[in-house]
């Protein structure tokens, strides 16, 4: 690509930005929060209509009562790029923490505020405008782009694999895009090069047919004690996970991965101040903390309840106690193996009575090797557009369904985009910076062009 053509591309992206922003605002008026069926259906329809307007071949995949998966394909050429996006959003609670109503997008100080403006409606529309820019400029889009857009990402993509299995050819492709990407505090482009896996489980102890008077506590077993004793066996000092065999499939991190993470900024003091802690787990600091965030699998208690927790005094023995755990996984851990290990661990320690329900969220980790041509090209293009060094984040500390889409054909993936470090996705006052929207869109348009030529 010559410099002249590249500049022209950036210009036409700029021309589209007012429309792109208007569309993001319109799309973000739909409250497509997890669990709101009518709003999710409206967002799915909005998505399908917008893809059709762009000239995509659109297909709807239906599985059970799950929100529809919308697939839109456009373009031609040797290469196929899969864009894995979603139209559902995290709930906007608590609403009184927002400075403007979450579903009435508002422009202030060079930013658009609203639920979904970044995660993921904004990124979805940015990708689409990049595609349209390139198509308008070339006459024909020189690469095939297949959007795979689900409505269950924020609650674990539970039906995505089943939906994709309805048409197995949909996961054929050469490259894939993770739903978004971003910048760091210094506005350097950050490439997301993978995602961690996840296993979500609910553990339940049941000891009695009903709650009992605590005067019987010397006779009747307490479900809360039963549960916390079982939970305690899963955990060792400094947050090591004590599930037998848990670390067995964890791959060694490579020197290349470790050195890439050296350039990821992490302000220990600020982080500790934010959460009012004196010390991070394991006494970690700086690069060591960043490395742990990506490479250390976890077993987190995300919720735990039992007995009476109201304002009055009530002396009962609880009959049931429940805990929810989310386990973040790293290559090459498989959530199904981890589930088996967890069940076996509990049984071996005499806790076979603890019910394990793992029917919720699960996904395998998926890291793209940093030396893949896709990552190198994404870094190059990002550096040209941002005129700044890029940072390769080996993987997001969080999770996304990249394995479901890319795993079967071992497709490399990367995330480029415009999420600023203070974009506040999932939190109140989610926002997008308009200057970064244009840059992120330009990066994707240029990357598509280079991939077409690859």
Q: Rounded to whole angstroms, what are the CA distances from 216 to 204, 227, 228, 309, 412?
A: 22, 19, 20, 20, 60
Nearer to Zn ion, 120 or 207 (CB): 120
CB of 174: closest distance to Zn ion in angstroms?
A: 23
Cα(75)–Cα(57) distance, integer angstroms: 10
Nearer to Zn ion, 291 or 430 (CB): 430
Backbone phi, then psi, for 83, in 5-degree steps? -110, 115
Nearer to Zn ion, 119 or 184 (CB): 119
Note the residues at the interface with Zn ion (CB under 5 A): 119-120
For residue 324, what are the contacts with CB-CB under 8 A and spacing of at least 6? 200, 201, 202, 203, 301, 302, 303, 304
CB of 7: closest distance to Zn ion in angstroms?
A: 32
- Contact between residue 23 and residue 125 where contact means Cβ atoms under 8 Å apart: yes
Nearer to Zn ion, 197 or 307 (CB): 197
Nearer to Zn ion, 119 or 296 (CB): 119
CB of 9: closest distance to Zn ion in angstroms?
A: 27
Nearer to Zn ion, 119 or 291 (CB): 119
Cα(121)–Cα(28) distance, integer angstroms: 7
For residue 224, what are the contacts with CB-CB under 8 A and spacing of at least 6? 205, 306, 307, 318, 321
CB of 61: closest distance to Zn ion in angstroms?
A: 19
Tokens 């700044």 belong to which residue?
A: 388
CB of 116: closest distance to Zn ion in angstroms?
A: 9
Cα(115)–Cα(30) distance, integer angstroms: 9
Beta bridge partner(s), residue 146: 73, 82
Nearer to Zn ion, 89 or 378 (CB): 89
CB of 362: closest distance to Zn ion in angstroms?
A: 17
CB of 28: closest distance to Zn ion in angstroms?
A: 13
Nearer to Zn ion, 91 or 369 (CB): 91
CB of 83: closest distance to Zn ion in angstroms?
A: 13
Nearer to Zn ion, 85 or 207 (CB): 85
CB of 434: closest distance to Zn ion in angstroms?
A: 20
């Amino acid at each position: 690509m010559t410099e002249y053509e590249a500049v022209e591309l950036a210009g036409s992206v700029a021309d589209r930005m007012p429309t792109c922003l208007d569309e993001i605002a319109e799309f973000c008026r739909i409250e497509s929060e997890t669990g709101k069926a009518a709003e999710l259906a409206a967002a799915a329809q909005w998505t399908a209509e917008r893809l059709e307007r762009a000239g995509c071949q659109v297909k709807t995949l239906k599985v059970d009562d799950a929100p529809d998966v919308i697939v839109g394909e456009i373009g031609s050429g040797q290469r196929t790029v899969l864009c894995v996006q979603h139209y559902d959003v995290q709930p906007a609670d608590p609403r009184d923490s927002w400075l403007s109503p979450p579903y009435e997008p508002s422009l202030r100080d060079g930013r658009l505020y609203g639920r979904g403006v970044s995660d993921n409606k904004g990124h979805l529309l940015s990708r689409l405008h990049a595609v349209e820019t390139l198509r308008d400029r070339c006459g024909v889009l020189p690469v095939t782009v297949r959007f795979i857009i689900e409505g269950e990402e924020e609650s674990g993509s539970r039906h995505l694999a089943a939906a994709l299995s309805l048409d197995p050819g949909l996961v054929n492709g050469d490259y894939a895009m993770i739903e978004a990407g971003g910048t760091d505090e210094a506005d350097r482009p950050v490439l997301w090069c993978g995602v961690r896996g996840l296993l979500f489980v609910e553990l339940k102890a049941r000891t009695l047919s009903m709650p009992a008077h605590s005067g019987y506590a010397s006779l009747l077993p307490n479900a809360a004690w039963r549960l916390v004793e079982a939970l305690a066996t899963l955990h060792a000092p400094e947050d090591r996970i004590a599930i037998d065999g848990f670390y067995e499939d964890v791959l060694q991190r490579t020197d290349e991965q470790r050195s890439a993470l050296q350039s990821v900024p992490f302000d220990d003091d600020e982080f500790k101040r934010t959460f009012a802690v004196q010390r991070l787990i394991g006494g970690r600091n700086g690069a060591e903390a960043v490395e742990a965030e990506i490479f250390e699998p976890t077993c987190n208690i995300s919720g735990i309840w039992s007995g009476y927790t109201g304002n009055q005094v009530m002396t009962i023995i609880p009959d049931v106690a429940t805990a929810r755990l989310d386990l973040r996984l790293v290559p090459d851990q498989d959530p199904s193996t981890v589930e088996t290990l967890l069940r076996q661990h509990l049984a071996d320690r005499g806790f076979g009575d603890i019910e394990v329900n793992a029917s919720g969220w699960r996904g395998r980790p998926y890291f793209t090797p940093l030396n893949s041509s896709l990552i190198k090209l994404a870094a190059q293009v990002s550096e040209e557009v941002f005129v700044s060094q890029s940072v390769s984040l080996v993987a997001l500390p969080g999770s996304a369904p990249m394995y479901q889409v890319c795993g079967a054909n071992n497709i490399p993936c990367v995330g480029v985009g415009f999420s600023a470090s203070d974009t506040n996705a999932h939190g109140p006052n989610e926002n997008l910076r308009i200057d970064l929207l244009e840059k992120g869109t330009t990066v994707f348009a240029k990357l598509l062009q280079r991939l077409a030529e690859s």
